[in-house]
């Protein structure tokens, strides 16, 4: 597991791979801070679109050269947004020659989804 995935998980995550939902157990201070970083990264429309473009790409990865034309933003701005998604542990990348290729970290998204799903299910049974 990479350090970036730990940002999503938090240090207090149970060993079975599932975080307690928001309504099933109070968040610890460290876990709340880690999750806030992830939600902050997702709180921007450009970053949400970038994540969606990367996640929905056939083959599971996309070149930055294919991401930049989808936006009316400069390449450095796109790179900044991608950096924030990487720091939040949602995506990773690899340089291949001139270009950088990005892919989603499924485990990070699964854990975030489990946290939100559990919260929703707990809210409907209360």
pLDDT digits (tens, 9 = 90+) for 31-43: 888 888 899 999 9
Q: For 20, phi and psi rounded to 5 degrees?
A: -65, 145
- Is pLDDT at 24 greater than 80 in this prediction? no
Sorted by sequence, the CB contacts under 8 Å of residue 20 that are 6+ apart come out as 14, 115, 118
CATH ID of 30-121, from 3.30.420.40, 2.60.40.10, 1.10.10.10, 2.60.40.420: 1.10.10.10
Greatest distance between any 2 Cα atoms in the chain: 54
The pTM of the full predicted model, rounded to 2 decimals, is: 0.73
Choice between 51 and 114, residue whose per-residue pLDDT is larger: 51
Residue spans of the domains in the chain: they are 30-121
Q: Is the dihedral of CA 79, 80, 81, 85 positive or negative?
A: positive
């Amino acid at each position: 597991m990479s350090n970036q995935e730990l940002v999503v998980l938090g240090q207090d995550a149970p060993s079975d791979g599932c975080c307690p939902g928001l309504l099933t157990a109070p968040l610890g201070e460290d876990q709340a801070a880690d999750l806030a970083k992830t939600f902050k990264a997702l709180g921007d429309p450009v970053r949400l679109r970038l994540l969606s473009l990367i996640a929905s790409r056939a083959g599971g990865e996309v070149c930055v050269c294919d991401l930049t034309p989808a936006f009316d933003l400069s390449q450095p701005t796109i790179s900044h947004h991608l950096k924030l998604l990487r720091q939040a542990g949602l995506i990773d990348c690899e340089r291949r020659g001139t270009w950088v290729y990005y892919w989603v970290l499924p485990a990070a998204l699964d854990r975030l989804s489990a946290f939100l799903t559990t919260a929703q299910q707990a809210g409907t049974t209360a």
